[in-house]
Structure 1
Amino acid sequence: MADYTIEEKDGFTVLGFGTELKSDYTDFAGITKEKADFWQSASQDGTLDRLKAVATNDYIFAVNEAVNNKMMHYAGVMTEETLPEATRVIQFPKGEYVVVKGEAKTAEELSNTLTGMAFGQVLPEATNVAYVGGPNATVEMGQRNGVVFGEMWIPVVRK
């Protein structure tokens, strides 16, 4: 089983620019391509730079959230500020979170690896907590020794 912890987190806000994922939720390859295309566009068109300018820290959030029965994916930062063109202000609740740590060669690989570990191994095997929906995020926290490191944060409740 993947290493994970359960941590208490204060509620926080992520300001994000998003896209609707059109692939079926079971189409991992399709979802992965849609996310990669979105992040490439956000990097090239200045979206990430605009977000970083209002961020309260250096963390970059890749947020997944169901909104009005649509599967949404956001690039975001922790902030109390807003940008007029931002897609969504995402409220993460105070409470317990499953936290899965990892590192990879790229931010995209980190996100894919942590998501796979969290939803493929940790949540199915964690007998004391359950994910009941709400936003979850991969958090790119920085780089060291040529790799990107970060965490997956998933809000959970005790069973």
Structure 2
Amino acid sequence: MENYSLEEKDRFTVLGLGTELQSDYTDFAGISKEKSDFWLAVKEDGRLDTLKAISTNDYIFAVNEAVNNKMMHYAGVMTEATVSEESRIIEFPKGEYLVVKGEGQTAEELSNKLSGIAFGQVLPEANNFAYVGGPNATVEMGQRNGYVFGEMWIPVVRK
């Protein structure tokens, strides 16, 4: 199994700029394309740079969250500031998190790889913990040896 652990995390917030995903939740290819198009847009139009400028650290969050029965995806950072009425403050609860570590050639590859491991392998095989909803995030933490490295954080509860 890939590198994963259960870690206790304090409550934290992420300021995100988001998009509603229109693909069915089972349409992995459709969801991936929507996310890819969104990230390309926030990089090209400067919104990601605006977020990075007010971040309290170098982490970039790709957050998935169900809001009012809509599947939302956000580009976000940890910050106390706000940028616009389009932004959303995403609350992550204090508690135990499934943490999957990895690396990829791009941030998109990292996110897809970690999501696949977490939701395709670790969670289906877990006997003593479960994901019961709430926001989850891929956290891009930096670059090393030409690869983007980071973690996926998913809040879980003990069974």
TM-score using structure 2 length: 0.98
Given that 1:107 and 1:140 are in contact with CA atoms closer than 8 Å, whether structure 2 keeps it comes out as yes
- 1:150 and 1:80 map into 2 onto residues whose CA distance is 22
- 2:147 and 2:16 map into 1 onto residues whose CA distance is 24
- SS in structure 1 of the partner of residue 134 of structure 2: coil
Shift of 1:50: 0.6
- 2:15 counterpart letter in structure 1: L
Give the fraction of aligned pairs with identical amino acids, expressed as a percent: 79
- 1:8 counterpart letter in structure 2: E
Pair 1:24-2:31 in alignment: no
Which residue of the partner structure matches residue 66 of structure 1? Answer: 66
- SS in structure 1 of the partner of residue 91 of structure 2: strand
Given that 2:3 and 2:102 are in contact with CA atoms closer than 8 Å, whether structure 1 keeps it comes out as no
CA offsets 1:6-26 (integer angstroms, 9 cap, x no match): 000000000000000000000
Which residue of the partner structure matches residue 35 of structure 1? Answer: 35
- SS in structure 1 of the partner of residue 23 of structure 2: coil
- SS in structure 2 of the partner of residue 50 of structure 1: helix
CA offsets 1:67-95 (integer angstroms, 9 cap, x no match): 00000000000112111244210000000
Pair 1:139-2:126 in alignment: no
- 2:69 counterpart letter in structure 1: N
CA offsets 1:77-118 (integer angstroms, 9 cap, x no match): 011211124421000000000000000000000000000100
Shift of 1:5: 0.2
Given that 1:15 and 1:86 are in contact with CA atoms closer than 8 Å, whether structure 2 keeps it comes out as no
Shift of 1:122: 0.6
Which residue of the partner structure matches residue 88 of structure 2? Answer: 88
- 1:129 and 1:50 map into 2 onto residues whose CA distance is 37
- 2:24 counterpart letter in structure 1: D
How many residues in Structure 1 have an aligned counterpart in Structure 2?
Answer: 159
Counting only pairs closer than 5 Å after superposition, residues 1-159 of structure 1 correspond to structure 2 as 1-159=1-159
- SS in structure 2 of the partner of residue 37 of structure 1: helix
Given that 2:101 and 2:114 are in contact with CA atoms closer than 8 Å, whether structure 1 keeps it comes out as yes
- 1:82 and 1:37 map into 2 onto residues whose CA distance is 24
